[in-house]
Structure 1
C-alpha cells in the first residue's frame, strides 16, 4: 500500500488525484491493493532555514487546465499515524532530519501522545541540467514505484524544484504489540467524523495515516531555532573539541522535543551524536528509572516508546525520581559519564525539577559535567528559574559542591576539592577549572493539555508505553503473528547464579522472593563473584552501582528446582554476563497482567481482595512524586481552625 506525494520547495498550491489499482503478483493469482496518491505542488520559492519558511514569493504558474475543487494551499504535510517515507526525488525534512533521494526509507511515527509531525519540502540546489534532462531523471527514479499512467501524470506537472516522496504502510512487531492491548490503539490512530471523504482521504487511510491541521503540528520558536542553528554550527566546526550541550528547564517546556530535533539536525551533518540521559522519569531511549549513555547514529522520528535502543553504558537507578537519595543519583551519573570518550557532541538531558534541591542538583551537574553550552528553557506557564549564567553557577552552592568563593575562603586545596567530587586519578593530577559555559535562553511556546492535576497520570502512561515498547522486542518480526507474553519460553536462572537486591524499599529476607516474583527486573553485572554459594537466594546488603545490560520480567519462581523464570529480549551472549537482579519501583503495566490474549481461567497475579490500609500497601506504586508534593512535605501548611464560642 503506497502513496506518492510531490512537494514544492516551500509549499504552494497542490492538487490531488487518487485512484485504486490492482497489481498481480508473480507466482500466483493473489492481488495486492495499491492506492496511488499523486500530489503536485505548484512551485513557490521560499527562503528557508532548516526547512522553516521565512518569506515567500507568489506561486509561479500559468496552466490552469488541471485545477479543480480539490485545489488548496499547502505548506507542508502534517499527519498522524505511522508510515515509511522514501524520498524519490528532491529533498524533504521530517522532525529536523533531511531525507534525500537515494537514501534509505525512514520509519516515521506521528502519534497522538506528542505533537504531530510534518513533512516539509526543503530548498535544494539544482545542477546545471535542462528541464528535459531532469524530467528524464525523475521518470527513471519513479519507474520501479509507479505504473506508466501515474508517471505520465506526475511528469506532466513536473517542476525542477519539486520533491516527490512515497508513503508506505508500516507494520512493526513493536507497534503491533502495543496496539494489541485494549485502549492503546488510539496512540497511533483516532477515528473521527469526516465530512469530506475524497480520494486523498481514502488513499491516506489505506497507508495508515490521516491529514491533520497544521496547528496540531510541531512548532518551534525563533529562539529555539536560533539556538539549534548555533549548536549545529559549533558541533560541525569542532574548533574547541566536541561540545557538551546540557538542556535544562522545568517540566513540559519542550526539552525532550528540542533534544530529538537537535539530534536529527546534527545527524544531517555528522555521523553520530552521544546522549546522556539524566531524567529518571521520562527517559528517551530506555525504560524509565535509568541513567544511560548512548551513541545515536539513526534519526529519532517518533516518541520514546517507538525507539528503545541499547545503550553503551546504563545503570538501573530503579525509581522515577531521585527523591531521598540525591547523593547516589550524582554518583551514578559520574559513573556513566566516565564512559564518554569525547569523540562526538554530547547532549545531556536533565530532570524537570528545577526548584529547591532540584536547582542545587542541577548546579552540581553543571560543575560535574562542565558543559560548553547550557540551553535553558523557560515558559510563561512555568515556575521562575534564575538564569544559570557562569557567574551565577560560580557564586551558588550546590547540594554537594561549593561555590568558588566558598572554596577560596575556606582554603580548600585542589586535592581535597577533587576528592569531594571523586574524580578519576588522572583527572586529579590536572587543575580542576570550571571554564564556564555559554548560556542559551530559549523561550518555549508549547501548547499542551497537561496540568498539575493530570500530569502524573499522563507521565505514568508514557512510562508504561516505554516499558511496552521495550517488551515489544520479544515479538517475532513481521509478518509473523504476535505471541502473547505467557506463550513465550522464559530463561531458567538458578538461585545461586545471581544476587538479588530490592532498590526502593527495605524488604525482609523471608519476603524477598515475593517482591521479585512478577516484577520488572534489571539484569545487571556486578564485579563481585557470586559463585560458590550452594543454594541461594543470594541477597546483597547494599545497592551496587553497576552496569545494567537490559531488563526482563520475572514471570515465575520454581521453589522446588530453585529457579527464576526470566522473560527478556536481551540476547543470550549478553545474558552470560548477568549475575545480579535489581528490582525497583518501576512496575509492569497493568495491561500486561490483565489483557494478555489466550488466557483461560483465573488470571495469575491479579486479585481484587487487597487491603490498602496494610503497612507498606500503596495505591501509587511506582508513581513519580511531583514538585507540589515535595513542597508540601518540606513546608507543611498550617492547619486553620475556626474558633467556636
Structure 2
C-alpha cells in the first residue's frame, strides 16, 4: 500500500513538473514579440481549466497583463454558466478550489450550457470577442509603451470535443490561428482531441502553430459522474453569483439562511412595456412581451439597446449581468428581478435574453416561498 501511494505521489509530481515546464516554455522560450496566443484543448475533467490558470499565471509573471477568452459556456472559469467572456488579468488567478467570479472586459450571454442548439451563434460570439481583443488589446503600434502594448491571450475551450463540440473547436482554431495549442490528453485516446494540427486542411498549407502535448491531471471518471459534477459546479457558480445580492457580512450557514436572505431582498422592478425580449436559441426577437415567456425562477440575461454593438459583425448587445424573476405583476406592468447588477445600470435595461439555464433548487425556493406568502396575504 505504501509503495502504491508513493508511486502515485511521484507520478503526480512528474505531471505537475511537466505542466510547469510546458507553461514556462510557452511564456519564456518564445520570443517576447508578439506575445503568444494560447488555446488549451482537451476532454472534460482532464485538467484543462487548471492548466489554463497555470498558463495565465505564468504569462502574468512575464507580461504583467494577460487576456483570457473563455468559450466554455458549460463550465466557465470566472462567470456564471452560459457566458462567453473576455477578461484582462493583472494579478494571478485564484486557486481552483475557490469559486472565483469577476467582471469581464466584455461578454455575451449564450443562454445555454451546451453549444448544440446554436453553434453558429456561439462561434459569432467567439469571433466577435477575439476581434475585439485584436483591435483593443493586441496592438503593435506602441511597442515602447508597456501600458498600451500587445498582451498575450489564453483561450479556455470546452471539454466537449466530439460532434458539434469538435466543430466549434475546429472553427475557432481556424479563425484565431493561435501561436500555441496545448493538447491535454488522457489515457483513453478515443476521448481526446484529434492529434496533430487537425483543424488545418492539407491544401491550406503549413501552419506555424506550436503544438504542445501534456498528460491529463487524472483519467476521467464515468460520464454519469462527470455530468453530475458539472451540474453541481454550475449550481455553485450561480449561487455564488446571486449571493452578491446579499451584504458581504450576511451570515449563511445553510441553504435555508440563503433562501431567507433572498426572500428579504427588495427586488428591482422593470416595466413590462419597456422590455424587448430576444430568444437566442430560436433566433427570434419579440417586440411585444408575452408573459408566457417567463415564469417565477426564470434566469434571464440583461442588456441595454442604447449601448453600441461590440463590433459591426455582431448586432447582439453585450450582456451586463443575470437576473432571475421573483414575480410577475401584469396589472402593474412589472417584472420583479433579483440581480446583483447595480440599480444605476438596471435603470437602463430594456433588453432581456431568454435562457434554458435552470435556477438552483435552493434559489427556486425563494419564488415558492414568496408565492406562499402572497397567497396567505390574499386570504387575510
Shorter-chain TM band: 0.7 to 0.9
Instruction: Go from structure 1 to structure 2 and tell me whether the alpha carbon gap of 1:231 and 1:520 turns closer, same or farther (over 3 Å shift).
Output: same
Deviations along 1:16-59, whole A, 9 cap, x unmatched?
xxxxxxxxxxxxxxxxxxxxxxxxxxxxxxxxxxxxxxxxxxxx
Deviations along 1:479-514, whole A, 9 cap, x unmatched?
x54561111111111123221133346999886445
Instruction: Give 1:360 shift.
Output: 3.1
User: Counterpart of 2:178?
Assistant: 371
Q: Distance in 1 between matches of 2:293 and 2:99?
A: 32
Deviations along 1:387-416, whole A, 9 cap, x unmatched?
232xx43316xxxxxx627xxxxxxxxxxx
Instruction: Give 1:380 shift.
Output: 0.3
Instruction: Give 1:356 shift.
Output: 3.5
TM-score (structure 2 length as normaliser): 0.79
User: Counterpart of 1:81?
Assistant: none
Aligned pairs for 1:560-599 within 5 A = 560-594=331-365
Identify the match of residue 557 of structure 1 among 294, 313, 328: 328
User: Counterpart of 1:386?
Assistant: 194
**How many pairs are equivalent?**
339
Which has the larger helix fraction? 2
**SS across alignment from 1:338:** helix
2:126 equivalent to 1:333: yes
Q: Larger relative contact order (C-alpha < 8 A, sep ≥ 6)?
A: 2
2:29 equivalent to 1:252: no
Alpha carbons 1:520, 1:551 under 8 Å: kept: yes
2:32 equivalent to 1:238: yes
2:20 equivalent to 1:225: yes
Deviations along 1:61-87, whole A, 9 cap, x unmatched?
xxxxxxxxxxxxxxxxxxxxxxxxxxx
Instruction: Give 1:277 shift.
Output: 0.8
Q: Distance in 1 between matches of 2:161 and 2:340?
A: 36
Instruction: Give 1:455 shift.
Output: 1.6
Instruction: Identify unmatched segments of 5+ residues in structure 2.
Output: 1-7, 139-149, 253-259, 309-313, 376-380
**SS across alignment from 2:200:** helix
Identify the match of residue 290 of structure 1 among 77, 83, 87: 83
Instruction: Give 1:527 shift.
Output: 5.3
Instruction: Give 1:273 shift.
Output: 1.4
**SS across alignment from 2:154:** strand
Which has the larger strand fraction? 1
**SS across alignment from 1:364:** helix
Alpha carbons 1:288, 1:463 under 8 Å: kept: yes
User: Counterpart of 1:452?
Assistant: 223
Instruction: Go from structure 1 to structure 2 and tell me whether the alpha carbon gap of 1:376 and 1:604 turns closer, same or farther (over 3 Å shift).
Output: farther
2:238 equivalent to 1:467: yes
Q: Name which one, 1 or 2, has greater alpha-carbon Rg.
A: 1
Alpha carbons 1:500, 1:581 under 8 Å: kept: yes
Deviations along 1:215-264, whole A, 9 cap, x unmatched?
999974443222111122157x523x121100111121110010112222
Instruction: Give 1:280 shift.
Output: 1.0
Deviations along 1:80-111, whole A, 9 cap, x unmatched?
xxxxxxxxxxxxxxxxxxxxxxxxxxxxxxxx
Q: Distance in 2 between matches of 1:216 and 1:302?
A: 22
Alpha carbons 2:276, 2:352 under 8 Å: kept: yes
Q: Distance in 1 between matches of 2:320 and 2:212?
A: 35
Instruction: Go from structure 1 to structure 2 and tell me whether the alpha carbon gap of 1:268 and 1:497 turns closer, same or farther (over 3 Å shift).
Output: same
Instruction: Give 1:300 shift.
Output: 2.2
User: Counterpart of 1:515?
Assistant: 294
Instruction: Identify unmatched segments of 5+ residues in structure 1.
Output: 1-212, 397-402, 406-433, 530-542, 606-645
Instruction: Go from structure 1 to structure 2 and tell me whether the alpha carbon gap of 1:317 and 1:269 turns closer, same or farther (over 3 Å shift).
Output: same
**SS across alignment from 1:548:** coil
Instruction: Go from structure 1 to structure 2 and tell me whether the alpha carbon gap of 1:603 and 1:334 turns closer, same or farther (over 3 Å shift).
Output: farther
TM-score (structure 1 length as normaliser): 0.48
Deviations along 1:352-404, whole A, 9 cap, x unmatched?
22223433332211111111101111110352543232xx43316xxxxxx62
What is the alpha-carbon root mean square deviation over aligned residues?
Answer: 3.3
Instruction: Give 1:435 shift.
Output: 5.3
User: Counterpart of 2:72?
Assistant: 279
**SS across alignment from 1:306:** coil
Alpha carbons 2:115, 2:164 under 8 Å: kept: no
Instruction: Give 1:458 shift.
Output: 1.1
Alpha carbons 2:116, 2:165 under 8 Å: kept: no
Aligned pairs for 1:93-132 within 5 A = none
Instruction: Go from structure 1 to structure 2 and tell me whether the alpha carbon gap of 1:506 and 1:312 turns closer, same or farther (over 3 Å shift).
Output: closer
